Chain A
C-alpha cells in the first residue's frame, strides 16, 4: 500500500513537471520555479473541480484549448487580497516613508503583482491624503491580464467594505472612507480621480524585464510563491528598477535576507518589511 502511494506520487510529480514544461513552451508562463507544493495543490484542486481524471489529460486540453489554460491561470494566480491589507504596513509608510517621498518633485511607483487592484487603490488614497498623488505615476502590473481588466474598473464587491473601512481607519486614514467610492446594490465604484495616474499593465516577473526606473516598488505576497532561486532573480529585477534611495515594500513574511541584493538595502521598518536602497 505504501509503495503504491509512492509510485502514484512519483507519476503525479512527473506529470506535473511535464505539464509545467508544456505551459511554458505553449503559453510562455513559467511556473517551474514556483513553490511546487503550492502548484501541485492548485492543479489537483483544478482537476477535482473540473472532473478531469489526471494531469496528462489536463495537459492535452490545455495545449489544444487556450480558454482551458486561462482558467488554470486563474487558479494559479494569487487572488486573495484586500484594501489596506495589514493596516500597519500603510501606517508605517505614512510615518516613515512619505516624508522622504515628498522630497522628490516627481515620483514613480511600481506595484508588482497587483491582482485585482485593491492594494493599488489603497495606495492611491494614501498618496492623495499625503498630497503626493498629483506628482506620482503608478504602474500596477500583474501576469494575469484578466485580473488587470478587473483592477482597471475600480469596482469591488460591497461585501467586504466594512472590513476595508476598518482597515483604512487603522492605517491612519484621514478622511471618511466612504467619500472615495459610490455604492450601488452590491458593488462599490472607486472615484476616477484615484485611477487617473495609474497605468495598469500585464507584466510577468518571471519572464519580463525592467520597464522603468522607479522610486518605490511594492510587491506583497508575491515572492512567497516562488522558490528561493526565483525570489532572488525577481528581487534583482526589482532592484534594477529602483533608484538609489528608493524603497521596497514587501509582504509581512517576505524578506530580502536570502537574496544577493540584501547588502544594498537597510530596513526602514523590519517588521513591516520596508527597505531602502542605500547602495547602487
Chain B
C-alpha cells in the first residue's frame, strides 16, 4: 500500500478451520468489490454444493463454483470444486484438472497460487488462512517472487496454526493479520479490473447475481 501498485485478483487457501474463517471473512467484501477472489478450501471429494449456497446467501459478492474454461469476472468469489484442481490461465480463464493430489490435496492451494502468480504477476494478493498442512506455502512464495502481495492469518488467531506457520517459514509475508482485520485491510488497497474484461462486469451488484447453478 506504500506505492501506487494496484491489484487485479485475490487468491486464498485454507483447510482445517477454514469454513468458519471464510464465514467470518467473505461477507465483509461489498457487492461491488472491484476484483475477483479465488478460493481453495480443502474439502471432502464427496461434499455437495451446500458450502457455496450458504456462503452465497451470506455474502454481498456473488459466490460460485469455478467452471472450466470460464472467464474470471470481478465481483465474484470462485471456489475450486471438490476433487478438482483449479488453475488460472494467462488469458484469465479457469481450468480444472483431476491430476494427482499435491500435498495430499485436490484441490491444492499451491496449484491455484502458482498458476495465478503466472497469470497476474505482481498484481496478485495471496492469503493463507487456518489449516493443518503445508499446502500453499510454496505457492505463496511464488506469488512473493513474482512481486505480488502476501498475507497470512496470525497463527494465534487461527483455529489451526500449522498452515499459517508453514507459510511463514517459507515466506516473510507482507502482512500477518487476524481474520477480523483482513477485509478492512484489503478494502484499503488499490484495485483495477483486469484489462481483459469488459467494463460492465465490474460493478455487478447483488441484484444482478446470476444463477449459481452449474451449467448442464
Binding site for B on A (CB under 8 A): 1-2, 5-6, 9, 13, 35-38, 40-42, 78-80, 221, 223-225, 227-228, 231, 251-255, 257-258, 267, 270-271, 273
Q: List 12 A-B contacts (CB under 8 A).
A: A1-B145, A1-B147, A35-B97, A37-B119, A78-B98, A80-B98, A223-B68, A224-B95, A252-B81, A253-B81, A257-B216, A273-B216
Quick check: B216 and A270 within 8 Å, CB to CB?
yes
Residues of A within 8 A of B118 (CB): 9, 37, 40
Residues of B within 8 A of A267 (CB): 216
Quick check: B214 and A2 within 8 Å, CB to CB?
no
Quick check: B68 and A2 within 8 Å, CB to CB?
no
Q: In the bound complex, what is the Cα–Cα distance between A183 and B198 (angstroms)?
A: 58
B37 nearest CB across to chain A (Å): 19
Quick check: A253 and B146 within 8 Å, CB to CB?
no
Residue in A2, A6, A38, A257 whose beta carbon sits within 8 Å of that of B99 in the complex: A38
Q: In the bound complex, what is the Cα–Cα distance between A40 and B100 (angstroms)?
A: 15
Q: In the bound complex, what is the Cα–Cα distance between A258 and B67 (angstroms)?
A: 11
Quick check: B97 and A38 within 8 Å, CB to CB?
yes
Q: In the bound complex, what is the Cα–Cα distance between A37 and B89 (angstroms)?
A: 6
Quick check: A37 and B145 within 8 Å, CB to CB?
no
The yes or no answer to B69 lying at the interface (CB within 8 A) is: yes
Contacts A35-B89, A37-B88, A37-B118 given: A80-B145 contact, CB under 8 Å? no
Residues of B within 8 A of A223 (CB): 68
Quick check: A231 and B69 within 8 Å, CB to CB?
yes
The yes or no answer to B87 lying at the interface (CB within 8 A) is: yes
The yes or no answer to B90 lying at the interface (CB within 8 A) is: yes
Residues of A within 8 A of B90 (CB): 13, 36-37
Quick check: B100 and A80 within 8 Å, CB to CB?
yes
Quick check: A224 and B214 within 8 Å, CB to CB?
no
Q: Which of B51-81 contact A (CB under 8 A)?
A: 67-69, 81
The yes or no answer to B111 lying at the interface (CB within 8 A) is: yes
Contacts A38-B87, A41-B111, A80-B99 given: A5-B69 contact, CB under 8 Å? no
The yes or no answer to B8 lying at the interface (CB within 8 A) is: no
